[in-house]
Amino acid sequence: MNELFASLCVRKLDVPVLNPPQQLPLFLSSSFSFDRIEEGVDIFTGKQEGYVYSRYGNPTIEAVTRRLEAMEGFGLDMDIQGYLTSSGMSAIHLILVSLLGQGDKVLTQANLYGGTTELLTRVMSGLGVETVFSNLNDLEQIESQLKSDPAIRVIYLETPTNPTLSCLDLKAITDLAHQYQIKTVVDNTFCTPYLQRPFAYGADFVIHSTTKYLNGHGTGIAGLVLGKDKSFMKDRFWTVLKLTGATCNPFDAWLVANGIRTLPLRMDRHSANASLLASSLADHSGVDLVNYPGLASHPSHSLASRQMSGFGGMLSFSVSGGQATAFRVMNQLKLASLAPTLGDVDTLVLHPATSSHLRIPKAIREEQGITDGLIRVSVGLEDATDLITDFHAALDCALVEK
């Protein structure tokens, strides 16, 4: 009797799904069973669709991926293939490793997110891939480099950039890249597909840290790679993804699913709040510079107005007095959290020079506008008047202490 009872407890449960659940089910299973071994063979060999192991595919992950493909390709006549990964950094690494090999070069900008710069210079370099930094706002310079260096195989770009919010002309760069058979990879994390869809401007691949706005609540870490060359994505990219094991887990995918259901509402509020805060900071005597593409004074304002449907929730501003003043301002804030991330519903502030860009040489940082007095702000969903009052009070206090 005891043996039969133990067997009953251990046996797989049958799931009585009589009609579809309203919410996405969470499939927390590492593997999937077969009715017959022949069925397993057919699924493994591709003769039949099905799931075998969650590193290869999982119903929750697949459902979220299909929705993200539709979002990034919305309104475009193209068939996009995507894969969720374990983080935004793994997404960047996987697409670069899939596209590049020893002796190849990647052309990019100097004002990237610090982690991306480190990945290129400290990890990809060890694989024999060289990084060429350029001013990607200078099309003549780009073309000159592509003409003179056939080893360049990829242009990697981030727009708007982290943390100075400068924008790049996606259409002009991708058109130029395609003339020389160069692939383009665009980090669209700051905008999300709601505000900008790089595939519409000719991008070959788009990546996201879904940890940020797509999740939106700071509850999980994941990344996303999408490509319009489905054969490449299904063959080359998926092979690299599954064999490196950098796949997303079902729970983090499920959290992204929850986030994207409110994405338009959140992004509208993030953008509106950021615009009001940026304008108010620009009027404060203690602020030397505000980086926000929604401001008419921002160098990328005209381009952002054409390329984006909204200006987003990210901004940065520089205070006189360098790091000491920046720290005083940040420590005086009451509504904003000091946290090394972005895209959450609450306002977050970060000091790039001592965190995200800590290991970027100071001379390079400052040349790109990432000074010791720069503060990055991920503007949240709080009341805009409350945020403005809080930031102005913090600035006033910091200037008095100075």
Mean pLDDT of 322-348: 96
- Supply the mean pLDDT for the chain: 95
Q: Pick the catalytic residue from 187, 204, 252, 390.
A: 187
pLDDT tens sequence across 76-132:
999 999 999 999 999 999 999 999 999 999 999 999 999 999 999 999 999 999 999
The answer to whether the beta carbons of residues 186 and 198 sit under 8 Å apart is yes
pLDDT tens sequence across 30-61:
999 999 999 999 999 989 999 999 999 999 99
Determine whether 113 is an active site residue: yes
pLDDT tens sequence across 205-229:
999 999 999 999 999 999 999 999 9
pLDDT tens sequence across 297-312:
999 999 999 999 999 9
Write out the E strands in 86-151: 105-109, 130-134
Q: Pick the catalytic residue from 51, 83, 105, 113.
A: 113
CA–centroid distance for 153 within its chain: 22
Confidence at residue 252, expressed as pLDDT on a 0 to 100 scale: 98
Give the CA-trace dihedral at 57, 251, 343, 90, to 10 degrees. Answer: -40
% of residues, the chain, pLDDT over 90: 88
Determine whether 328 is an active site residue: no
Mean pLDDT of 179-183: 97
Assign 402 a pLDDT band (cuts: 50, 70, 90). Answer: low
Assign 334 a pLDDT band (cuts: 50, 70, 90). Answer: very high
Mean pLDDT of 10-36: 87
Domains (ranges, CATH) in the chain?
A: 37-260 (3.40.640.10), 263-401 (3.90.1150.10)
Q: Pick the catalytic residue from 153, 183, 212, 269.
A: 212
Determine whether 187 is an active site residue: yes
Determine whether 197 is an active site residue: no
Mean pLDDT of 157-183: 97
CA distances from 216 to 61, 157, 223, 378, 385 (A): 18, 23, 13, 11, 22
Assign 1 a pLDDT band (cuts: 50, 70, 90). Answer: low
Q: What is the pTM of this model?
A: 0.95
pLDDT of residue 401 exceeding 80: no
Confidence at residue 291, expressed as pLDDT on a 0 to 100 scale: 98
Confidence at residue 26, expressed as pLDDT on a 0 to 100 scale: 95
Mean pLDDT of 270-281: 98
Could you tell me if residue 312 is left (phi over 0), alpha (psi between -120 and 50 degrees) or otherwise beta? Answer: left
Residue 28 CA to residue 341 CA, distance in Å, equals 27
pLDDT tens sequence across 344-397:
999 999 999 998 887 888 888 878 888 999 999 999 999 999 999 999 999 999
Residue 263 CA to residue 256 CA, distance in Å, equals 10
Q: Pick the catalytic residue from 55, 67, 236, 242.
A: 55
